[in-house]
Amino acid sequence: MGTADGTAVLLSTKANAMADWAEALRALDPTLEIRLFPDAGDPAAIEAAVVWTEHDMAELRRYPNLKLIVSMGAGVDHLLRPPGPPPGVPVARLVDERLTQGMTEWVLLNVLRFHRQDPEYRAQQAARVWRELPAPDTAARRVGILGLGALGAAAARALRGLGFPVMGWSRRPKALEGIECFHGAEGLSAMLPRTDILVCLLPLTPQTRGIVGRDLLQSLPRGAYVINGARGGHVVDADLLHALDTGQVAGAALDVFEPEPLPADHPYWSHPKVFVTPHAASITIPRSAAPQVVENIHRVRAGRPLINLVDLAAGY
């Protein structure tokens, strides 16, 4: 197949993941010509770029025939920060069952960890203390989810299925069966005082950066828990640490940080009330995510509307 007119796919992430992506894409469409960054070859040959956080958006301006950019994850904040994608090139993200399932599991793990007093029981075990704590009441433990996109909605349904009263907040009004939905600034003020466990699954945009800060944390009932599986930039670390140290927040489970990796001297690492995972809540499986990428490459070629298209103005 000729390449000078732009029919090649550029992959850019860690080397081992690139190999998996290449294999998964080729298995679906053996005619795809795949280039592994930085070996892009003739820049005019690149038609689509499938990239992860490390890739510099300024670099993508080198490809005059680029017609599609795909994020290798659910989030696209890394693609939208300045200078952003080259003008006129559409950006798609992944909406993937395995990715969603992974996040749902991580959220359930942490909601149940706090709900079932696991930190307290671990501390008792360390001290060889045999003592029953009061039985947790699922129907009375209210979970509030920030963000009702693919990940937030799936987590909300799973928690509802376990019997938790679940509320969800989104920028725009949404309706989800069995979930009490809130939106806008007023909705957030209404939801927070009733939220015993707060789960953040928002996209990171200029509007949501720092949302889990002092005001939000103070609006939660005393002794609430905070779970962040979204982006480190959602949380104001100093405010969360203060809330943990004063008892306003009883525990936090954090998968994402700013910067990543979390620096070795960061207080979260050794904080007795903080549970850290290394941005591993949900990891993209190329084999699972590849079909929608190939579908979008075919759509771009045919001039058909893309799936999982990002609204560049909204930022997600």
Taking the least distance from each CB to ligand GLV, the nearer of 115 and 231 is: 231
224 close to 250: Cβ distance less than 8 angstroms:
yes
Taking the least distance from each CB to ligand GLV, the nearer of 11 and 40 is: 11
- Least distance (Å) between residue 74 CB and ligand GLV: 4
68 close to 90: Cβ distance less than 8 angstroms:
yes
- Least distance (Å) between residue 140 CB and ligand GLV: 32
Residue of 6, 75, 203, 251 that binds ligand GLV (CB under 6 A): 75
- Least distance (Å) between residue 13 CB and ligand GLV: 12
- Least distance (Å) between residue 197 CB and ligand GLV: 21
Stretch that binds ligand GLV, among 43-51, 67-75, 126-134, 137-145 (CB under 6 A): 67-75
Q: Is 73 in the site for ligand GLV (CB under 6 A)?
A: yes
Taking the least distance from each CB to ligand GLV, the nearer of 35 and 93 is: 93
CA pair distance 1, 212, nearest whole angstrom: 50
Residues contacting residue 85 through CB under 8 Å, at least 6 positions apart: 57, 60, 69, 79, 91, 312
Taking the least distance from each CB to ligand GLV, the nearer of 3 and 288 is: 288
Q: Is 300 in the site for ligand GLV (CB under 6 A)?
A: no
Answer yes or no: 26 catalytic: no
Taking the least distance from each CB to ligand GLV, the nearer of 7 and 282 is: 282
Window 91-130: residues binding ligand GLV (CB under 6 A): 99
Considering the candidates 279, 287, 298, 299, report the single residue annotated as catalytic.
Answer: 279
# chain residues binding ligand GLV, by CB under 6 A? 5
Window 155-214: residues binding ligand GLV (CB under 6 A): none
Considering the candidates 55, 231, 266, 298, report the single residue annotated as catalytic.
Answer: 231
Taking the least distance from each CB to ligand GLV, the nearer of 231 and 273 is: 231
Residue of 18, 46, 74, 253 that binds ligand GLV (CB under 6 A): 74
Answer yes or no: 78 catalytic: no
- Least distance (Å) between residue 223 CB and ligand GLV: 29
Q: Which residues bind ligand GLV (CB under 6 A)?
A: 73-75, 99, 284
Catalytic residue list:
231, 279
